[in-house]
Structure 1
């Protein structure tokens, strides 16, 4: 895991994004935001489990499925199984040590 502070993120409404093997964050002080970093680490684990490329394919399919169904981009984003797992467990800083393989399936 490599944490990078990226200026282009300042134009987006996101605080961070995980693109294996990097975690890009908007503000340098977010390097100390353990909840945000844990959320993104969960995504890195998900990406590894799905051989990276399949994560992005499945993530996109799931996003567009929910977007068509809900007609709301933020609601669609929050319904993605990968995001649901990450948001539900981001505050548990020990989650990744006890997490089972493909745990995101629970959130489908």
Structure 2
């Protein structure tokens, strides 16, 4: 289910998936198929890891990346979950053939 909320989406981002919802900053973004595919990839990742472990791993990996990169944006972009989503967001058929736990190959 998609909601529009400029308050729940962090500054500098256009969307965020918080299972089972996708929050977008502006209603016009509902038409952005690449962004929606990116968020659907995160939705699938969250389901795979039974939601709570996904968030624990996401935050843990972010802080590890932040310690090594010392740059917020670079740390975010290097999280394995984000690397998978950004790499495959333009492939609108990716989720049909996505292997189980495929985010691990981006670690």
> TM-score when scaled to structure 1?
0.96
Q: Which blocks of at least 5 consecutive residues in structure 1 are unaligned?
A: none
Pair 1:27-2:10 in alignment: no
CA contact (8 A) 2:9 2:15 kept: no
Q: Give, in angstroms, the shift of residue 7 of structure 1.
A: 2.8
Q: Give the aligned partner of residue 38 of structure 1.
A: 37
CA contact (8 A) 1:3 1:24 kept: yes
Pair 1:85-2:84 in alignment: yes
How far apart, in 2, do the equivalents of 1:103 and 1:11 lie? 26
RMSD: 1.1
- Worse overlay, 50-59 or 4-13: 4-13
Give the secondary structure class of the aligned counterpart of 1:100: coil
* 1:14-55 superposed Cα distances (whole Å, 9 cap, x missing partner): 100000110000010100100000000000000000000000
Give the secondary structure class of the aligned counterpart of 1:51: coil
Q: How many residues get paired?
A: 107
Runs ≥4 residues deviating over 3 A: none
Give the secondary structure class of the aligned counterpart of 1:14: coil
How far apart, in 1, do the equivalents of 2:59 and 2:25 lie? 22
Q: More helix per residue: 1 or 2? A: 1
